[in-house]
Structure 1
């Protein structure tokens, strides 16, 4: 609002600021992205009208620093990404007028997980609008392979191997009735250069026990699992 004095009269110039609010996913509801696939980080502005010139920033919070994952500058209508997001992000330009400021993230990586902030600036007409989105990432690995080691005095060695999981999965050994086996097992998980987990687990099948064995790998984040089953003959 501004005012001026003309011939003793005060003229007041009023700038109409339309109502603006932010809508997004419910609080504390993380977005889950599958590694190697695409995910949308939601950010929606509801307003009477969206001005022609505005800017959108998606900021990734990494430890003690902030990285501008992607930015759209309405003045020159160009996008700019941080080096680690180069070629992997894009905005929905055709939906800007509808208030859709979401970010399309392609080829999701394990390093992408964390907290993101959407900052929308409408020159001096609007104040900045912010929303926080937590991105969790996951991957379902391959079908586990069970190998039969030679018979040992203490039992039959059964190693099971699978790779391509994220985050660390749960390993479960089962019997023929689908019950968790009582035998002790050992599990080792290592991270591959691609940022995924490789799993090697093994157990010893005791003589006289149930000879039907399953090696189940569970990703609780994706609510999915992969399993292999073997039946060892008594001979």
Structure 2
């Protein structure tokens, strides 16, 4: 056991893995050693905020049926068996979902040796280009809303003026997750008063991906309510 302990080690990942919803993500597990045995065993376990579950296993001592996927991951995982002899015991997780966010433990078993490494998976989704809507009149001004779908995690929304500066108006933003997907739709609202900068930009920001989507509109005078006769007197 002591001899094997010096012969093998697992290289820990440098940083969390970022998975984009709908795409694949490789969870790295690199075994270092001069000779990698064919009859090794690999087990991947997921630990989320409130759950722990088996993901996939490889059993080198069962050549007839070495691969096993568990509920919630069937059809979504893939090892790289042609690279096992190089120590690449990584797992490809396909069709990433928001619920996949968490920590994954890669456990490696040899005849007289065992070790494990933890890989953190962060998950993000880039939503659609936002649309700006005129919702109606609000006092002497108009009410605007900005809507976009398909974000994870919940994005932030910034309203900008013609100079690209943050607008001074009060803003209300609400993000709502889908009941099954966990993907967020976002709605942000503000009121535009007469005499203010008529060029309005709505920018939606995914801080995990460090990406944005933006729409810009210019509000014409005729959208504002006409002054009532009493204001002319």
TM-score w.r.t. the length of structure 1 is: 0.88
> Which stretches of structure 1, 4 residues or more, deviate above 4 A after TM superposition?
none
Aligned match of 1:41: 27
**Distance in 1 of aligned mates of 2:52 and 2:155:** 30
Shift, 1:52, TM fit: 1.7
Does the CA contact (< 8 Å) of 2:104 and 2:118 recur in 1? yes
Does the CA contact (< 8 Å) of 2:49 and 2:102 recur in 1? no
**Distance in 2 of aligned mates of 1:74 and 1:149:** 63
Shift, 1:146, TM fit: 0.4
Write out per-residue CA displacement over residues 5-57 of structure 1, whole angstroms, 9 at most, x where no aligned residue.
Answer: xxxxxxxxxx964711211322xx21110000000000001101011211001
Counting only pairs closer than 5 Å after superposition, residues 167-206 of structure 1 correspond to structure 2 as 167-192=153-178, 193-206=180-193
Given the superposition, is the C-alpha separation of residues 214 and 64 from structure 1 closer, same or farther in structure 2, using an over 3 Å criterion? Answer: closer
1:136 and 2:126 are equivalent in the alignment: no
**Distance in 1 of aligned mates of 2:170 and 2:183:** 26
Aligned match of 2:69: 81
Shift, 1:63, TM fit: 4.6
Aligned match of 1:222: 209
1:210 and 2:197 are equivalent in the alignment: yes
Counting only pairs closer than 5 Å after superposition, residues 67-106 of structure 1 correspond to structure 2 as 67-77=53-63, 78-106=66-94
Aligned match of 1:58: 44
**Distance in 2 of aligned mates of 1:16 and 1:113:** 37
**Distance in 2 of aligned mates of 1:199 and 1:173:** 14
SS of the residue 1:95 aligns to: helix
**Distance in 1 of aligned mates of 2:216 and 2:134:** 12
- RMSD (CA atoms): 1.7
SS of the residue 2:221 aligns to: coil
Q: Tell me, which stretches of 5 or more residues in structure 2 are unaligned?
A: 223-233
Shift, 1:64, TM fit: 6.0
Shift, 1:233, TM fit: 1.9
Counting only pairs closer than 5 Å after superposition, residues 88-127 of structure 1 correspond to structure 2 as 88-124=76-112, 127=113
Range moving further from structure 2, 178-187 or 16-25: 16-25
Does the CA contact (< 8 Å) of 2:48 and 2:101 recur in 1? no
Would you tell me which structure has more helix in proportion to its own residues?
2
Does the CA contact (< 8 Å) of 1:154 and 1:204 recur in 2? no
TM-score w.r.t. the length of structure 2 is: 0.89
